[in-house]
Structure 1
Amino acid sequence: MTNPETPTRTVAWTVADTAVGPLLLAATEKGLVHVVFRADEATTTAALERLASRLGATPEHLPGGPAGDRLREAVEQVEAYFGGTLRAFTLELDWSLSAGFHRTVLRELAGGVPFGSVVGYQDLATRVGEPGAARAVGVAMGSNPLPVVVPCHRVLESDGGIGGFGGGLRMLDIKRSLLAREGVLPEPLF
């Protein structure tokens, strides 16, 4: 039984419409914690259930208070990014969904690979002091809980190939679109 005097931890969430489809954005009191592509009703429900289980939190659709304020800022910045007026996110991030090597790699990516640039998996591994860990960097990219904001789309294969993207092959169109948006690739013809 829950103690009625113990506050329940909540996760504020909303879905933002973007050029790459609906994005689920979720924030805790610490900051943005999760971004999910193709956030239709089923995807959103499943993501919120996993998030609630992992964080021991109750999802609330865009509540008031500090978490809701952070979420509103996240929505504004995501809209500005897709609107072409934002090149660097300045959001507070909650790193609760990543740890260890993955967190180290994602933090380096977030702070060290600016808009319009790319880095190779091997180069990113070297930057975090693990030059033999290119494949582990790929795994970290695939587990990124904050895509777009922590720009895993900017990580390419050493030979210049596009590489993978979280969610598998069905998400490569999103990676291409994000890279085109940043001027790294030409805009798709169709």
Structure 2
Amino acid sequence: MTLFKYIINPSPIGEITIIWRKKPKFQIEEIILSRPDKSSTQIAEEKYEQEGKLPINKKSKQLNNVLKELDNYFKEKDAKFSLEYLNLEKFTPFQRKVLETEFKTKKGTINTYKDLAKAAGSPKAYRSVGTALSKNPYPIIIPCHRTVKSDRTIGGFGGVSEGLESKKILLELDGLMIQGKKVVGNSPIIALDKTSQTKLV
């Protein structure tokens, strides 16, 4: 399997590296965000060391479509992302359900880990929801930054504490207000499950 990379730099959250492949069909393998201590390029080189140095390639109509929508998102325009190019088959059925449900969370809205667990069909599995989101290889496209704790604190991002600043920036790009580590104001909660929806007042 030949993998390629494409680097977005700059962006509001720093350098971003997209790992993708052409065959047997176009597919995004992973979207890697930078951390304060390490660039996305460094993370990619370490993670895919066995693949050797990944060539930089932008020669793909599908990749250009993804880049266009990411650019729209960062410019605070409507972005029309799709699950079509993502490989969700590598996840457990529960993890896949969580990610597919999270994909439906619209810009300008948020949900909680508990609400997402219920919408995914496992109301008591909110800790497992957090684990599934921490393993999300497609941040922004599957907007795991839009899931927060029930007390409005923004929670984790990408499975590392260093990701909180990026999560804050992404939520602000969505039009939400953040003070410290909490969502404030009249930020709406998406009605993933209208019968049991956490209220933020």
Q: Moved runs in structure 1, 4+ residues, more than 6 A?
A: none
The residue aligned with 2:87 is 94
> Which of 88, 94, 104 in structure 1 is aligned with 2:97?
104
Task: Tell me the TM-score normalised to structure 1 length.
Answer: 0.80
Gap regions ≥5 residues in structure 1: 1-8
How many residues are matched? Answer: 171
**In the alignment, does 2:35 pair up with 1:35?**
no
Q: TM-score, normalised by structure 2?
A: 0.76
Distance (Å, rounded) in 2 between the aligned partners of 1:88 and 1:135: 29
Describe the SS at the equivalent of 2:168: helix
Q: Which residue of 2 aligns with 1:161?
A: 153
- Give 3-state SS (helix, strand or coil) of 1:42's partner: helix
1:95 alignment partner AA: L
Identity %: 26
- Deviation string for 1:1-20 (max 9, x for gaps)? xxxxxxxx322320112110
**TM superposition shift of 1:156:** 0.5
- The structure-2 alpha-carbon separation of the partners of 1:63 and 1:113, relative to structure 1 and needing over 3 Å to count, comes to closer
Instruction: Name which of structure 1's ranges 132-141 and 69-78 shifts more when overlaid on structure 2.
Output: 69-78
2:58 & 2:172 partners in 1: Cα distance? 34
Q: CA RMSD in A?
A: 2.4
Structure 2 residue runs without a partner (length 5+): 181-201
Q: What corresponds to 1:48 in structure 2? A: 48
Tell me the amino acid that sits aligned with residue 93 of structure 2: G
State the Cα distance separating 1:145 from its structure 2 match: 0.5
Residue equivalent to 1:82: 74
Task: Tell me the CA shift for residue 185 of structure 1.
Answer: 1.9
Matched with 2:199 is none
**Alpha carbons 1:32, 1:93 under 8 Å: kept:** yes
Query: Could you tell me how far 1:101 is from its partner in structure 2?
Result: 1.5
Deviation at 1:97, TM superposition (A): 4.6
